[in-house]
Amino acid sequence: MIAAVSCGGVVIHRGKILLLYKNYKNKYEGWVLPKGTVEPGEQYEQTALREVREETDANPAIVRYIGKSEYSFSVPEDTVEKEVHWYLMSAGSYYSRPQREEFFVDSGFYKYHEAWHLLKFSNEKQILEQAYALYQDLRRQNKWDSSR
């Protein structure tokens, strides 16, 4: 078994969620949330911000920790046990540009229900549900900075 830790973000601007579309040699296709691997010496918050910036070219700010998802997948030599730590993030605009080097071919901000239906993985749908509920709570309490 190989243990792996990643961090990512649910980035929201004016109620819309930032998604990426990945297409790797037509074997792996689908809409995902931005995330990536923790580098040595990096804090989880740093990883989440760096990965979102690298993969989307957006400039988010962390609002709050959401939680973690766990899943496993097979690689030719072993099984990878993956843990992903997620953060609710705000963005100051709808700007995004997919990172082509990582096989992202599209990116954009989508309404909640569109994003939920577009997401490929059920664990990311669950994180989106948690993040959006938190976002709505913060807005009701006037604690969401809409200028970001």
Encode pLDDT of 26-56 as tens digits: 667 899 999 999 999 999 999 999 999 999 9
Entry pTM: 0.94
Encode pLDDT of 101-147 as tens digits: 888 999 999 999 999 999 999 999 999 999 999 999 999 999 897 66
Residues in contact with 39: Cβ distance below 8 Å, sequence separation at least 6, in sequence order: 47, 50
CATH for 126: 3.90.79.10
Residue 146 belongs to a domain: no
- The number of folded domains in the chain is 1
Domain holding 57, by residue range, is 2-140
Residue 147 belongs to a domain: no
Encode pLDDT of 8-24 as tens digits: 999 999 999 999 999 98
Give the residue from 58, 59, 63, 38 showing the smallest Cα distance to 48: 38
